[in-house]
Structure 1
Amino acid sequence: MKIFKSATELFHLIQSDPLTAIIMLLILIFISIILYKKWGWLQIAYNWIVNHVLIFMKRDFIMLATFSKNEANFNKVKKEYQEQGCLYITHNFFKKFNNDGSIKIRALQDILKEQKAKMKTAIKRSMNSNSLIYIGFPHVPFAFLDGYHFRSTDDPILYEYQGENSECLGKGFYELKRKYNTEMKIITDYNTEIKYDNEIALKIEQSFPIMNDGIKKVSGVSQIVSLGLETPNRWSITNYAQIDMYQTRFLELLSKLKESGVNKIHLFATTPVSLSFSLGRVIEHYHPEIIVYNYNNNVYDWAVNLRTEEILTFNTK
């Protein structure tokens, strides 16, 4: 009854004194903004309503978190964006894998379906083409596939997790530094004098070296092209300039391979999350068909064709 009475009085005030009513409304809006900025629980409540009830509303930020290799707490990162308005989309696939890291093909198929469905939601709810935030611990093929799904995304915000020897030690998840130049040297052994087959293997050695014997055994190809650091270093991707350079070198190599008559690439990579996602983003339909392999317990046990999303599994015994 009190609420009804107050509403009635407010209605009469609007009718009798519109100017005072407008001033009161502006004061209420101002107070609401202050309370929203100050109270985290209010931000959480507002985000929940917009994200799950007002699903027609677009969001300033879309945070896509993919966890399949490990689980992790990223609440600190979420808090950084909840005030502006952020839709959180989490792929938690960790429990679909067995303790030894293996997985059934049906579970992999379910993962790919969920990835694609949530990708469509993310694109539909994005306010701008640069709204995406990418974070998590995905397997390399999943990160490449996430990137491939978001080819039309401009300048995504990328997060990595600090490592033992990282210059960002102690930060947990951190956004890559916004640097515009880098001294990182990326090399390739692509040779214009070599006649390449229709199918070749490409290994991207960023975090660790990759042995050729394992590549030849699982892929059945004999020619292997490399791209990466002369001395691979696990924790060395820390800024956007490095990502940009890798994307440029990767694109150049894909173009050269296509011009050489290569139409299928078996890709093996020891790349961190942000780099895997970013390289996936620059792969286009006119590039050679690319199959990305997963490494588990010293063997390659499954792979994903980025173009067709076909899953390949291999006998590891």
Structure 2
Amino acid sequence: MITALTPNPSVDRAVSVGDLERGQVLRATSSRVDPGGKGVNVGRAIAAMGGDPLVVVPSGGPEGALFEALLAQTDVTASVVEVAGSVRMNISVLEPDGTTTKLNEPGPDLSEAEVNALMEATLERATPGSWVAGCGSLPPGAPSDLYAQLVREAVARGASVAIDSSGSPMAEAVAARPTLIKPNREELAELTGRTLDTLGAVIDTARELVRSGVAYVAVSLGRDGAVLVTASDVSHARAIITEPVSTVGAGDCMLAGLLFGLDSGLDPAEALQQGVSWGAAAVRLPGTEVPTPADLDGIDVAFTRSPGRDMPLDD
């Protein structure tokens, strides 16, 4: 059982253009709209894998009505907390070579009562043996220790907790010792104050976090795949995508595959490979479109438990 709290969901509009030229009038070649936010993307991907996740989200305003209508068209069960403010709209501009430019709005200003309602709706599913994931940025009004509170409360109820965020919310959550974290390389560098130019530097930094009490540290590395570090193992998996379309949501699909694998009883290395497969499939799709099992066709994942520590990481 996997529950994903998304305190700052969005309506995601993806617009495809030719070359992006600043200050010019451009004609879009295509566009699509999806319900978005990290936890929503995680839930949509897990549902595509055959799971039955719950996503917990705030919703309000005209954009909230659109968000709920889009979410209702998916296979994801949602617990919606009505709020006074409006759900944000994020825009991604996609170029033919896969370059993605994102414009993210801040989101609604949540009241203390609205934040408490979100937490209560999430903790209702925090039962022994379940996974709870806190995903994405926090909207204005939410306390920076929201995810840290989630970790403490959910773990006390016997659940495992995954956190995918950045900045102060991520740092405070890590200090509370979640079960799993999934930063990208830039977020890991921000979290630890390290320069992470090689795979070895990432692995060493992840090991320190494991020694501090985080059971699983999964670091997404873009074109260089992902690495998973536990107390007893280091795994690196990578898939080569020659024709990327959009990177938006790829890390979320990677986390979904990893979490669903762990929740289904796969060992961590197998779960990582599943996550990388789904993340790679997402890169071949427009906007935040979530892959289906058929989209994994033709994706080969290279895996090793002895990664080259000197491997430079792609900028």
TM-score, normalization by structure 1: 0.28
Larger radius of gyration: 1
Q: Which has the higher helix share?
A: 1
TM-score, normalization by structure 2: 0.28
